[in-house]
């Protein structure tokens, strides 16, 4: 009985920072949801203490009397009054919570930012495709498993699914929203603090539901613009012979069937766009941090690292494999 109470106290103290927690809001939406959490915790905590107090009192009061002949049902006006007061308290508590919740909900729904940044996030088994729309002409560019957002600017994220239901959730920025085939959901996110946050698929989507994360990088507008301009460029041409061979392998083998590298013949759309893969923080949808070693491991044994993923075990020789790694890690 004491355990939950002390744990609740611990809960109040712990978890106030982190890259994937609603308790550390870094966005307007997450912050306003956080106010409900705080209110809920206090109101519910109060009622819980009350219930436990009542229970303890009831037990304490009767600690010496036990058993005996059964009593008849009695009419007890005091008890009725108590029940009425209790019910009224619950009613008031619920009303406060429901009203607060309602107004926060309205505020989430009523973001009508004219100047919002438009993105489209499409969920696939098991990675995220991210597309940006910018400027008077819809210059779209595409990246995967990472989102860059300028701080202080609302981003309107259109959520779609390419296969099964997924759920987009970056708890530090906002609540989650499902990506449902055949439907079109929109989530507004207004990051307020520069930082790197983590999001994860929050609806069971098959084998590798656990390995479907994305990184959100909130940065100052200037850095964001630089990033955006860079993303609009096609991939750099490989400089070293090793990387050039890697590009050849990439295009002539199964890689280019599913992956795109802009500016080359690799035009697959079914797997993450790798045009600037080396500039991303992670690979395989947050499964591993980006590094040459991780790339090499991933290319040689995707089914061992992420069983069931759609990336096949492509039989490459060691030379080919290291050339591909050299090529990919040159794609800044």
Partner 1 sequence: MAEVERRRTWWWIAAAVVLAALIILFLLKQTHYSPPAAKMTTPAAYNPGQPTADDGQWVMPAKDYASTRFSGLNEINVSNVANLRPEFTFETGINKGHEEAPIVVGGTMFIVTPYPNKVFALDLTKPGAPLKWSFEPKPAPASQGVACCDVVNRGAVYWDGKIIITTLDGVVIALDANSGAQAWRTQLGDINRGETITMAPLVVKGKVLVGDSGGETGVRGWLTALDAGSGKIAWRAYNTGPDKDVLIGPDFHPFYKMDQGTDLGVKTWPPDAWKTGGGTVWGWISYDPELNLIYYGTGNPGPWNADQRPGDNKWTSGIFARDPDTGQAKWFYQLSPHDIHDYDGINEIVLLDLPIGGKVRKVLVRPERNGYVYVIDRATGQVLSADPFAYVNSSKGVDLKTGELQVNPDKVTQVGKTVRDICPSANGAKDWNPSAWSPRTGLLYLPHVNMCMDWQSAEVSYIAGTPYVGAEVVMYGGAGGNRGAFTAWDPVKRRAAWEIKEDLPIWSGALATAGDVVFYGTLDGWFKAVDARNGQLLWQFKTGSGIIGQPVAYKGPDGREYIAIMSGVGGWAGAIVSGNLDPQDPTAALGFVNATQDLKKRTNTGGTLYVFALPPRR
Partner 2 sequence: MTRPPRKPRKPVASGAISDRVLEPAAEAELELTWKDPPGFWGWLVTTDHKRIARRYLVTAFLFFGLAGLGAVAMRLQLSKPENTLLSAARYNEIFTMHGTTMMFLFAVPIMEAVAVFLVPLMIGARALAFPRLNAFSYFVYLAGALTLWIGFILNIGPDVGWFAYTPLSGPEYSPGHRSDIWAQMITFTEIAALAVAVNLTTTIFKMRSPGMTLSRVPLFVWAMLITSIMTILALPAVMLASSLLMSDRLLATQFYNPAEGGDHILYQHLFWFFGHPEVYIIFLPGLAFVSSITATFSRRPVMGHIPMVLSQIAIGFLAFGLWVHHMFATGLPHLGDSFYTAASMAIALPSGVQIFCWIATLWAGKPVWKTPLLWVVGFIVTFVIGGLTGVMVASVPLDLQLHDTYFVVAHFHYVLIGGAVFPLFGAFQYWFPKFTGRLLSETAGKWQFWLFFIGFQLTFFPMHILGLLGMPRRVYTYPSGLGWEPYNQIATLGGVMLFTSVLIFVINVLVSLRRGALAGDNPWDGPTLEWATTSPPPPYNFMLTPVVDSREPLWEHREELPVMEGLSTAKREVLTSSPSEAEPISRQASPEPSIWPFLSAIATTIVLLGTIFSEWALVWGALPLGVVLTGWFWPKRPRAGGEAQ
Partner 3 sequence: MSSRFRPAVRALLGLVAAAALVGACDRELRDFGSSAPEAGPTIQTTSLTPGPGGQVPPDPRGEIYEKSAAHVSEGGRLFRWYNCNGCHSNGGGGMGPALIDDEWRYGSSIEQIYGTIAEGRPNGMPSFRGKATDEQIWELAAYVRSLGGFTPQASSSRNDEIRSTPPRNQVTPPKPSAEGGASVQGTAP
Phi/psi for 141 (5° steps) reads: -135, 165
Is 180 a binding residue for partner 3 by CB under 8 A? The answer is no
The 79-118 site mask, x for binding partner 1 (CB under 8 A), equals: ----------------------------------------
- CB nearer partner 1, residue 67 or residue 182: 182
Is 234 a binding residue for partner 1 by CB under 8 A? The answer is yes
Q: Rule CB under 8 A: which of 284-323 touch partner 3?
A: 303, 307-310, 312-315
Is 286 a binding residue for partner 2 by CB under 8 A? The answer is yes
Q: Which residues, including other chains, have CB under 8 Å from residue 67's CB and lie 6 or more apart?
A: none
Among 130, 218, 262, 295, binds partner 1 (CB under 8 A): 262
Specify the stretch interacting with partner 3 by CB under 8 A; choose among 48-56, 103-111, 233-241, 254-262: 254-262
Query: Is residue 17 within 8 Å of 24, Cβ to Cβ?
Result: yes
Please choose which of partner 3, partner 1, partner 2, none residue 36 contacts, taking the beta carbon within 5 to 8 angstroms, the exact cut-off set by kind.
partner 2
Rounded Cα distance between 105 and 100, Å, is 8
Beta bridge partners, 283, equal 288
- CB nearer partner 3, residue 289 or residue 315: 315
User: What are the helix (H) ranges across the chain?
Assistant: 2-13, 28-61, 77-109, 221-232, 241-252, 255-258, 292-300, 302-305, 318-329
Specify the stretch interacting with partner 3 by CB under 8 A; choose among 21-29, 143-151, 253-261, 283-291: 253-261
Rounded Cα distance between 241 and 108, Å, is 53
Buried b (16+ CB within 10 A) or exposed e, 277-308: bbebebbbbbbbebeeebbbbbbbebeebbee
Is 104 a binding residue for partner 3 by CB under 8 A? The answer is no
Min separation Cβ 254 and partner 1, Å: 11
Rounded Cα distance between 224 and 257, Å, is 31
What residues make contact with partner 1 under the rule CB under 8 A?
Answer: 133, 137-142, 160-162, 181-184, 232-234, 256-258, 260, 262-263, 265, 267-270
């Amino acid at each position: 009985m004491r355990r939950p109470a002390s744990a609740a106290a611990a809960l109040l103290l712990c978890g106030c920072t982190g890259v994937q927690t609603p308790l550390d809001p870094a966005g307007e939406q997450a912050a306003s949801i956080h106010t409900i959490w705080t209110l809920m915790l206090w109101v519910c905590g109060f009622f819980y203490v009350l219930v436990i107090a009542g229970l303890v009192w009831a037990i304490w009061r009767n600690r010496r009397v036990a058993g005996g002949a059964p009593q008849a049902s009695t009419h007890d006006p005091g008890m009725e009054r108590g029940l009425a007061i209790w019910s009224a308290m619950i009613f008031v508590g619920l009303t406060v919570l429901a009203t607060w919740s309602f107004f926060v909900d309205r505020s989430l729904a009523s973001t009508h930012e004219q100047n919002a940044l438009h993105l489209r996030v499409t969920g696939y088994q098991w990675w995220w495709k991210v597309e940006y729309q910018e400027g008077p002409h819809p210059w779209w560019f595409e990246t995967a498993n990472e989102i860059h957002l300028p701080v202080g600017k609302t981003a309107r994220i259109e959520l779609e699914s390419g296969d099964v239901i997924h759920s987009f959730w970056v708890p530090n920025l906002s609540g989650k929203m499902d990506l449902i085939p055949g439907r079109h959901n929109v989530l507004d996110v207004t990051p307020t603090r520069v930082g790197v946050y983590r999001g994860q698929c929050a609806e069971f989507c098959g084998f590798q539901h656990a390995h479907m994360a994305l990184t959100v990088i909130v940065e100052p507008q200037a850095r964001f613009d630089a990033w955006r301009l860079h993303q609009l460029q096609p991939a750099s041409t490989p400089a070293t012979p090793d990387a050039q061979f890697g590009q050849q392998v990439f295009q002539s083998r199964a890689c280019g069937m599913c992956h795109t590298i802009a500016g080359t013949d690799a035009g697959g759309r079914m797997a993450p766009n790798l045009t600037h893969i080396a500039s991303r923080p992670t690979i395989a949808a947050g499964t591993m941090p980006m590094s040459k070693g991780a790339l090499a491991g991933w290319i040689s044994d995707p089914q061992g690292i992420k069983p069931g993923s759609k990336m096949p075990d492509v039989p490459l020789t060691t030379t080919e494999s290291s050339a591909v790694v050299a090529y990919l890690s040159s794609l800044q």
